[in-house]
Amino acid sequence: MIKEQLKQKISDKTACIGVIGLGYVGLPLIVEFCLKGFKGIGFEVDTKKADAINKGDSYIVDVPSENVQKCLDSEKLEATTDFSKLSDCDVIIICVPTPLRKTKDPDMSYILASGREIQKYMRKGQLVILESTTYPGTTDEVLQPMFEEKGFKLDEDFLLAFSPERVDPGNPQFLTHNITKVVGGVGKDSTEVATELYANIVNTVHPVSSARVAEACKLWENTFRAINIGMANEMAKVCNALNIDTWEVVRAAATKPFGFMPFYPGPGIGGHCIPLDPHYLSWKARQHGFDSQFITLAEQINSGMPKYVAGLVRDALNDQQKSVKGSKILILGVAYKKDIDDMRESPALSVIDLLRSRGANVVYHDAFVPEVTFDHAYTIGDGEPLYNQEFTDELISSSDCVVICTEHSDVDYKRVCELASVIVDTRNALKEDLREESKAKIVRL
């Protein structure tokens, strides 16, 4: 009954879609539904974000403000901090953060807070979908009992599913519609309805037999990345020790048409996903008496990379008869990856902190990031905030060392090669022609 009712509303687009959390995941998702003709209500705790959306201003790079405005003009989209409107929704999708506690255990507080709001305002006939990345079992161990506590029965009064988000911020090639969506319901009806829902906004939906499979699928994907990046980082250190060009090796290996997928080294891993998600898996595995050693090893290697990069800077300065202490070091790119503004877990923060703790005067240029702040609980340097410096000839030439932490497309690396004296390139941003012409001493990862 609930299944048929919801399927009908989805098929004639009268279903109202509520999205809790309008961040990197939630905002693109709700806009996509509204552009496809659904009514969408976005729920936020951050009043500034809700206000910005209601004014047509997007704060997420991959979501153009024109699209938000289009949804507002057609009266399809509304953002609110009033959670009582959850009862107006037929579908509720949870897209809130899933960070780690300082002890590296999952911080479930955002999912729990969303669950409590839903519990308060839920009515019969709704489908709830969790999209936040989390450990296998969250949907049926944590959310399902919360809704059942209200006296509601799964399949009769509500449906419940998990569908991992795979958005790749800053990657224009893959957007919501052309990334296959994995969907796993707590029960067959939930899978069926959630699959029909997502088929409206993505080309391919891949249903699986349970929410747990879908939860584990997301963690497998991101653990795969964390471990392979860890291996690439280790290979870079091996190549450096053997004086072999890391990047040439990986480029050559990538010509193999099967059995190899290139991953690249860097100053560490960042973002809200890759450094965190494997811990959700290992935490859950530990509860079942299993110690996931690959995850631990990859974490050790990846989190050690900023120190390795700081060591490269020290050695490069040493070759110039300079010390880190008292040197001016320019960091190019501080966001955790190319062409985006996201600073979460960015390894550049650790590189800066390490260099400052050794007495360097660090400045940075990143047009995407106006200001960098440091969490005093973690810093060993002075922890003072830094501000984006204009990219001038003077900035480059006055620096004792330039460290490329993130390769942004808008940076003129030719100019850097012409004006810098020493460059540490952790991203292979300086291609062969630039390196050949460069007067600077270049050290690469």
The tokens of 77 are what? 């989209």
What's the gap between Cα 54 and its chain centre? 25
Asked if residue 25 binds ligand NAD (CB under 6 A), the reply is: yes
Closest distance between ligand NAD and the C-beta of residue 110, in Å? 5
What DSSP line would sit under 160-205, residue for residue? Answer: EEE------TT-TTS-GGGS-EEEEESSHHHHHHHHHHHTTT-S-E
Asked if residue 167 binds ligand NAD (CB under 6 A), the reply is: yes
Asked if residue 21 binds ligand NAD (CB under 6 A), the reply is: yes
Closest distance between ligand NAD and the C-beta of residue 337, in Å? 10
Q: How far apart are the first and last CA of the chain?
A: 60
Asked if residue 100 binds ligand NAD (CB under 6 A), the reply is: no
How crowded is residue 262: how many other Cβ atoms within 10 Å of its Cβ? Answer: 12
The single residue of 273, 401, 405, 417 carrying the catalytic annotation is 273
Q: Which residue(s) pair with 372 in the sheet?
A: 386
By C-beta, is 369 or 420 nearer to ligand NAD? 369
How crowded is residue 123: how many other Cβ atoms within 10 Å of its Cβ? Answer: 13
The one segment of 95-103, 187-195, 282-290, 293-301 that binds ligand NAD by CB under 6 A: 95-103
Asked if residue 23 binds ligand NAD (CB under 6 A), the reply is: yes
Asked if residue 133 binds ligand NAD (CB under 6 A), the reply is: yes
User: Which H/E stretch holds residue 20?
Assistant: strand 16-20
The tokens of 110 are what? 């955002």
Asked if residue 49 binds ligand NAD (CB under 6 A), the reply is: yes
Pick from 169, 371, 198: which is nearest to 270 by CA? 169
Out of 2, 10, 35, 44, point to the residue binding ligand NAD (CB under 6 A): 44
| Structural contact between residues 96 and 118, judged by C-beta atoms closer than 8 angstroms | no
Q: Is 405 a catalytic residue?
A: no
Asked if residue 95 binds ligand NAD (CB under 6 A), the reply is: yes
What's the gap between Cα 200 and its chain centre? 24
Q: Which of residues 258-277 bind ligand NAD (CB under 6 A)?
A: 272-273
The one segment of 37-45, 139-147, 316-324, 429-437 that binds ligand NAD by CB under 6 A: 37-45
Asked if residue 43 binds ligand NAD (CB under 6 A), the reply is: yes
How crowded is residue 267: how many other Cβ atoms within 10 Å of its Cβ? Answer: 30
Out of 18, 115, 169, 230, point to the residue binding ligand NAD (CB under 6 A): 169
The tokens of 420 are what? 């810098």
Backbone CA torsion sign across 57, 62, 63, 64: positive
Asked if residue 20 binds ligand NAD (CB under 6 A), the reply is: yes
Asked if residue 98 binds ligand NAD (CB under 6 A), the reply is: yes
Closest distance between ligand NAD and the C-beta of residue 151, in Å? 23
Footprint on this chain of ligand NAD (rule: CB under 6 A): 20-26, 43-46, 49, 95-98, 110, 113-114, 132-133, 165, 167, 169, 272-273
Catalytic residues: 273
